[in-house]
């Protein structure tokens, strides 16, 4: 049956932004959207966190009030994931219901195009995109980081919060050859066997930064001296190597201060997990990883940074796909719409993880690794929308 509000759509006002039609569609979309946010975020946090927290309460004696705090702090991350899924669910269920009750047919009969009807869903999806970006950038990373710290403190975790073994830091510079070409050469190589949170142990440093003289430093341990911005090395030997590769001198020491970069310490110290960093922090971490020269870590972080931008725009893509699919003349119930939503969501995230892995492996660029699923589903949404508009 056609809603009593539909005669108002006959006017030319339906062509203008935020008409009565828009308010009507928004009133139908929002309840389903909020239901989806609550349902999807609850399922996610239950599967990922609740069972693990209960296990820690029983086995490790985690206080219940701490578990509740961690649970609340974990919610923003799953709300971020729920926003796109809820957008798809709301648009698909709402437009499917309106289509099955012939309300969309009545609108088209009054001269309202499919594009104009779907525009309402897309505009709402843009608002959700902004909300997702704020949550994903400002709220979820800080909450995840705080939850991890609270949990570690409460359990007095023995898990190391730093890189323990094989700290490796190469430093390069561009060298201009006589023929004018530039080559990238290794000027310094820093290696340590272990880091206990305070001192590096088992160090070997090859220093080629001075022309005509190379140094090889072997030391039992070293510690960063923040007051003087130098490294304090203990119980070691410095080998001076001349340009002709012959030993020039050997110096043994019990303690020696050397002015070397602090970057190896930054690499060894705990850095936030990807889910605990916003874009600015991730870019800072990327600079550190670039100094370390590990291409695999660099590409992984580059893909994750692009995904920080790509994820919020999934809301627009899902809003378009859901509205276009729902506008197809059909008679489907809520159960069918929900099942279709689950299939679309599963398909999207399957491609999302696969393309991300290909981006990290170097098969795709980091940009394409993050954005490829959005482009694919945007194409599907536009294709469906044009097919419906031609009917």
The pLDDT tens digits of the residues spanning 361-386 come to: 889 999 999 999 999 999 999 998 88
Higher pLDDT, 11 or 325: 325
pLDDT exceeds cutoff 90 at 127:
yes
In angstroms, the CA 235 to CA 45 distance is 51
Give the residue-averaged pLDDT of 211-232. Answer: 86
Average pLDDT over residues 9-22: 56
- DSSP 8-class letter at 17: S
Contact 169, 264 (CB under 8 A): yes
Burial of 229 (0-12, 13-18, 19+ CB in 10 A): exposed
Residue 88 has pLDDT above 80, yes or no: yes
Of all residues in the chain, the percent with pLDDT exceeding 70 is 88
pLDDT of 268: 67
The share of the chain scoring above pLDDT 90, in percent, equals 21
Which pLDDT value is given to residue 132?
Answer: 92
Residue 107: strand, helix, or coil: helix
Whether the model pTM is above 0.75 = no
DSSP strands (E only) in 114-195: 165-176, 182-195
The contacts of residue 12 (CB under 8 Å, 6+ apart) are none
Distances (CA, A) of 258 to 223, 224, 238: 11, 10, 11
Q: What is the pLDDT of residue 10?
A: 39
Domain locations in the chain as residue ranges: 17-158+307-390, 165-268
């Amino acid at each position: 049956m056609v809603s009593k509000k539909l005669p108002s759509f006959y006017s030319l006002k339906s062509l203008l932004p935020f008409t009565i039609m828009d308010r009507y569609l928004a009133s139908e979309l929002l309840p389903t959207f909020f239901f989806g946010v609550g349902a999807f975020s609850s399922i996610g946090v239950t599967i990922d966190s609740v069972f693990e927290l209960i296990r820690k309460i029983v086995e490790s004696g985690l206080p219940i009030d701490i578990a509740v705090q961690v649970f609340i702090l974990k919610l923003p991350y799953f709300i971020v994931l729920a926003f796109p899924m809820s957008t798809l669910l709301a648009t698909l269920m709402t437009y499917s219901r309106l289509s099955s009750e012939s309300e969309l047919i009545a609108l088209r009969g009054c001269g309202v195009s499919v594009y104009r009807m779907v525009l309402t869903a897309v505009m709402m999806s843009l608002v959700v995109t902004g909300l997702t970006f704020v949550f994903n950038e400002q709220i979820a990373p800080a909450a995840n980081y705080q939850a991890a710290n609270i949990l570690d403190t409460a359990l007095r975790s023995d898990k190391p919060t730093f890189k323990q073994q094989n700290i490796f830091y190469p430093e390069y510079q561009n060298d201009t050859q006589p023929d004018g070409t530039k080559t990238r050469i290794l000027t310094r190589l820093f290696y340590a066997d272990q880091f206990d949170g305070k001192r590096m142990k088992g160090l070997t440093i090859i220093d080629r930064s001075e022309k005509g003289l190379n140094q090889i430093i072997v030391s039992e341990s070293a510690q960063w001296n923040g007051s003087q911005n130098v490294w304090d090395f203990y119980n070691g030997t410095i080998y001076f190597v001349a340009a002709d590769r012959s030993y020039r001198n050997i110096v043994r020491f019990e303690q020696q201060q050397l002015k070397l970069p602090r970057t190896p310490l930054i690499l060894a110290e705990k850095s936030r997990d990807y889910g605990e960093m916003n874009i600015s922090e991730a870019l800072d971490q990327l600079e550190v990883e670039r100094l370390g020269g590990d291409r695999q870590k660099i590409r992984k972080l580059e893909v994750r940074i692009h995904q920080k931008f790509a994820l919020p725009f999934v809301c627009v893509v899902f809003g378009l796909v859901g509205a276009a699919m729902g506008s197809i003349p059909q008679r489907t119930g809520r159960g069918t719409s929900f099942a279709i939503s689950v299939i679309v969501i599963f398909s999207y995230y399957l491609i999302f993880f696969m393309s991300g892995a290909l981006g990290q492996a170097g098969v795709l660029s980091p940009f394409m690794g993050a954005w490829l699923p959005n482009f694919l589903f945007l194409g599907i949404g536009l294709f469906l929308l044009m097919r419906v508009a031609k009917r």
